Structure 1
């Protein structure tokens, strides 16, 4: 089949699929059962480890508004539920610690907060590795910088 013989909209659609595939690492579709409190329903996208149809392991959960990422959770999810990590809200800061049913569990335990930032940094590094392997240098660079920023929070 020759691209010249395809109608223009099909060529554009094929180009879009190729660009999308090149920009995203290959990750099985899986879900987080309860996204962080306050996130818009249906706006979250998981990029990370999965067990069946559920997020399970290190990764990044992004709340998207159109194509823009509004905020993200970086850390560990267990059987589709947020477990330990950091919610990064641009221009507002971080919320770090243990999560239950999408809610940050309040704590004064500095060690738990340090563990949350460490787990978030590991999740960012894992995301960078996936993007690098997929050939997406810009996203890999972003997540490597994010991992450094998270590690520096406890210095």
Structure 2
């Protein structure tokens, strides 16, 4: 081995060592810079606080499930009421149609009766137009004075 080869190897080893040393220093500086830029002011949550929060959320979830069941029951009740109302509307519609038909029949019957009444009145008027003269003599009514009654009202 020649001296030149030994020097070259020593320089390469020194260069690699310097690069590794420079890398270590830059990592340390980056870590210090990051720690300074983002300080940890709030400590991480403890296990007991996490467990308490979990229990609280479980209780809340149970309450929400109970409310959901209540809403589902109310929705089922409303659906049943809506179906009953639809049935009632259908029944009322049929009854209204029957009543309309009954009213129309009654109006027709009334019109026929009025026509028959008018015909009977006309027939009676023609039979009573025959002159019959009857006079009855009776007492004549005396004139009535309203002045006496006006004083009583006052």
- TM-score range relative to shorter protein: under 0.3
Q: TM-score, normalised by structure 1?
A: 0.18
Q: Normalized per residue, which structure has more strand?
A: 1
Higher relative contact order (CA 8 A, sep 6+): 1
Q: TM-score, normalised by structure 2?
A: 0.18
Q: Normalized per residue, which structure has more helix?
A: 2
